[in-house]
Structure 1
Amino acid sequence: MPDFRSDTVTQPTSAMREAMFQAPLGDDVLADDPSVNALQEHAAELLGFEAALFAPSGTQTNLIALWGHCQRGDEAIVGQSWHSYRWEAGGMAVLGSIQPQPVETQPDGTLRLADIAAAIKPDDPHFARTRLVVLENTTGGQVLPPQYLAEVARLAREHALALHLDGARVFNAATVQAARSGSDVYAEARSLCREFDSVSLCLSKGLGAPVGSLLLGRRDFIRQARRTRQILGGGMRQAGMLAAAGHYALRHHVRRLSEDHANLDQLARGLAEAGRSHPVLQGRIHVQPWQTNILFTDLQADVAPAFSAWLERNGVRVTGSLYGGQTRLRWVTHLDVGPADVAAALDCVARFALPG
C-alpha cells in the first residue's frame, strides 16, 4: 500500500532497531544518558553549533527556541504558512505569551524582505517588541536559496533581531544544494544553518527515526532550553533508545534522501503526463513545481471527489485539502516509498475513470 501522506509514517529499519536495542542508557533528565549525549554532541559538531538538545518533537523544539529568544509580550515574525505559526496549535501565544506577526509567504517559499522590514515594530510602549525572525527550510518542499538566507540574516542583524530556523527538513534542502554545486550534503547542511542563532532539526521525518527532534544553538542558550524543556514536560528518562535511532539516522540516512527526491521526480512527471493526456484528468490536474520530496497537485472540483475516492479504494494514501476552490493533494516520498510504489501509484492514476 503506497503511503504518500507524509515522511513521518516511516518505520525504523532493522539496522536502526538493532542500534536502538544496543544503546547504552542512563537518565537524560540527569544529563547522564550516554546515547542522548552522543547524539547531541554529534549533531552540534555536524552542523556547527556549540550544543544541542534532544526533545520529543519539532513542535516542542520550535517552542523552546521561541521561548529562549523572546520574553512575555515580545513578538516573532513568522511566515503565514510556517509550521511554527499554522500547525503548532498556537503554542507560542498560549504557552510562551509570544505574539506571532505573520507575513505572507511568496510562491517560491520566501518572505519578501520588504515585508519582514515592514513588520518590525518601532521601540514604542504601544507595540509588542519585535525580537525574532523565524524561517523554514524546506517549506512546502521548496528550498530557500543560500543568498536569500544571507539577506534575511543581514536584515535581522541590522535590527538586532535573533534568527531561528525551523529546519525540520534542512537535510532535504542540503541534498538539493549539494546536487547543484557538486558538494557534500553534510557541508551544505552546515552552511545552510550558519546564519542562524538556533535551528530545530527533525529526526522523524525524512531521516526515518521513530521519534525526536534536536534544538541547536549556543551553549548558554541550550542550557536554558533544557530548563524550558522540563517546564513543557519534555524531559525523558532512559531516552537513549530513541536517541540511538536519531543518531543512526544522522549517520546513515542523510545521503539516501536523494533517492526520495528521485522517486518524487518520477511521480511528479507521471502525474504531469496524466494532466496532459489522461482521458479524464487532462486539463483537470495541475502539478505544482517540485524540488525535494513533497509534491502538490491541484484537482478541479468536478473530478476531485471521484479521483480521491479512487486512490483510497486502491490503497494509494495521500492527504488532501481545499485550496482556492480546488482540491490540493499532497504527495510525500520517504524511506518506505520506493520506485515500485511510485509505479503502482501511477498505474492506479492511469486506470482512473469517472463513475457511470
Structure 2
Amino acid sequence: MRKFALLLFSSLLVTGCSEESVLEDQNQQDVLPQIVDLSKMTPNPSLDNDIRGTYTGSIFTTGLEEHGILYVNAGNDGKYQATVVAGTDKYSFTALSTDFDVEVLSFSGAHGNFDLVLDEHGRFVSDNVMLNGHEGSAAVFKETGGAKFGIVLGSWFSFNDGTVTGAWDYILDQSGGNILIAASIFEKPNGGTRLEQASLGEYEIGTPGCYTFGTDPDTGETITDAPPFYISENIPATPSDAQIEVYMINQTVDFPVSTHTVLYDVAFSKSIADQNGLSYDRFLGYPQATIGPVFGSTAPAGCYNIAGDGVNGYWARMDGLTMLDVGGVLIDTSTFVPPPPMIGPSQLSDAADQVTLQEWTL
C-alpha cells in the first residue's frame, strides 16, 4: 500500500486520531450471553489464515427498513455470536451451530435470523436475511493483523424513480497510516448484493482533482492519482472539528450476468463544508466517471460544489453507451457535528482557508 500525505485542496492538512462511539443496547429482550462488545473485539492474529476470526460488514432489508453494521465473532475467542448496530438500536444473535468447518453459519435472535455463506474470496454473504419481519441481505469481510475495519453506511436512489433505493456501504481499512476504502457493498435493484474489493483490483484509480497528494516517498514523483479513500480525523479531538473526507472518483461496477455497468463518483468534505458555511447535503469534488452521462459531455472538468440535488455522489447505469438510469448516492452524515456559528459576518476565520469551488446546480 502506497503511503502518501494528503493535503486537502492544497491548504488543509488532515491529521489526528479517529473516534469511536459506544452504543447501548436498546432492546432488553436481547439479553444474550455476549460478554464483549463485538464492535471492539480485536481480531486474533493467530487466526489470520483461518476461517475463524472476526468479520465486519453491513446488513440491510430490501426497502431499507433496517440498515446497520454487522459484527460477527466466528470463533475468535471460541464463541460464535453476531451483533447488528442500526442507529441507536443494537440486536444480538447467537449461532445455531459452532461447527465452523462448514461454509454456512446460521444465526438467530429475538429480531430475526440470517445465514452467512462463505464465497470464493473468503467473504461471508447472505441473501437470506430476516430482520424485524423484513427480508434482506448482508455481507461481512474478515479482519486480520489485529486491526478492526471501519464502516460507513450509505444509500442510493434513482432520479427517475425515487422509490427505487438500496444500500451503498463502505468498508474502511484502518491498518495503515492512511485510511483507504477496502470494499463496497451495493444492493442491486432486484435485491441481493454486489461486492467490490480493493485487494482484488476492483477499484479504479481516479483523478484527485480537488486534492494535492504531495510526492511519492519512494520515487519522489508528484502523485497525480489515487485510489478511493476515506478519512475521519479530529483536529483537535472534538466532534465539531472532525475532518471527514470521502473520495471515490472514476469508479465502475460491472454486473457479470448482464451487459450493464454502473459508473459513479462520490465525494464529500466536512471540513470544506464547515469552512464555507455549507450544508452536508451536497457533492464536493471532481466528477470524472459521470461527467458525460450525468452532467453532459460539454461540462468542464473541475472541482465542484454541486447543490440542489441533496446528494453526495452520482451514478449512471449504462448498457454500452446507452444510459438506462441515473441517480444519487447518500452517505450517512447524521453523526457529523457542525461547528458552532462564528460571531461576525463571515463563516471563515481566515481568508487563507477559503476554497474556490465552482457553483454548479443541476
Same fold (TM over 0.5): no
TM-score bin, normalised by smaller chain:
under 0.3
Q: Hey, which of these two has a bigger chunk of helix by percent?
A: 1
Greater percentage in strand: 2
State the TM-score, normalized to the length of structure 2: 0.24
Question: Structure with the greater relative contact order (CA < 8 A, sep ≥ 6): 1 or 2?
Answer: 1
